[in-house]
Amino acid sequence: MPFTLPPLPYDRTALEPHMSAETIDYHYGKHHQAYVTNLNGLVAGTDMDKMSLEDVIRASAARDAKIFNNAAQIWNHTFFWESLAPQSPAVPKALASAIDESFGSFAAFREAFLNEGKGHFGSGWAWLVKERSGKLAVVSTHDAHTPLTGEAVALFVIDVWEHAYYIDRRNDRGAFLSTVFDKLANWDKVAERLAAA
C-alpha cells in the first residue's frame, strides 16, 4: 500500500502573511513529500508495506532508523499542518482550564512552549502533550522522534527544523515560533485532541 501525502487542510496561501506560500511549497510540497516518497521506496516488498503509518512507526522504532525517520516525519508533519489554522480561534474553555491547571496560566504555558522550542538544540519538534497522569506538559523531541512511540498523547506541535523557518525568518527561530503560536495555532483542533485523549 503506497503511503500518500495527506492534503493540506487549507490553501497554500492561506497562512500568509505569517507563513508564506513559498515556505508551504518547500516544507509541505518538497520536504513532507520526500518523506512519503522515501518511505514507499524503503518498505516496498517488506512486511511493513501493508501496515498503517502508525504501525510502521511503532514497528520500526527499535529496528530500522531509516524507515522510522521517514515514517515518523510523515506523521509529525501531518500533525503539524493540522495544528495550524489561517485564523487562530480562541482557546476553548475545556482546553483553557486544562492549561491553567497544568501551567498556572495561558501566559505561563506560552512562555514554557516558546522557551522549549527556542532552546531545543538542533532539529526537532516542540510539543504540548497530555501525560499519563492527566497533566499537560511541554516537551521537545529530536529529529523525527515523536510522542506516538511513548505514553504521552500529542496535542499540539511546532516544527523547529531549520527548513520550517529559513525562507521566511532566516535564522530567527524565536520569531517563527511566536508568530506561529500567536497567529496560526488551531486551538479548536488541540481541544478536540484533548477531548479524545
Q: Which residues bind Mn ion (CB under 5 A)?
A: 159, 161, 164
To the nearest whole angstrom, how small is the minimum distance from the Cβ of residue 28 to Mn ion?
9
To the nearest whole angstrom, how small is the minimum distance from the Cβ of residue 27 to Mn ion?
6
Helices within 104-164 (DSSP H only): 106-119
End-to-end CA distance of the chain: 28
Q: What is the DSSP code (8-state) at residue 135?
A: -
Which residue has the CB atom at the shortest distance from Mn ion?
A: 159
Helix (H) or strand (E) holding 25: helix 21-26
To the nearest whole angstrom, how small is the minimum distance from the Cβ of residue 159 to Mn ion?
4
When the beta carbons of 39 and 164 are compared against Mn ion, the nearer one is 164
When the beta carbons of 164 and 194 are compared against Mn ion, the nearer one is 164
To the nearest whole angstrom, how small is the minimum distance from the Cβ of residue 30 to Mn ion?
10
When the beta carbons of 72 and 191 are compared against Mn ion, the nearer one is 72
List CB contacts of 20: < 8 A, sequence separation 6 or more.
167, 168
When the beta carbons of 96 and 167 are compared against Mn ion, the nearer one is 167
Helix (H) or strand (E) holding 129: strand 124-130
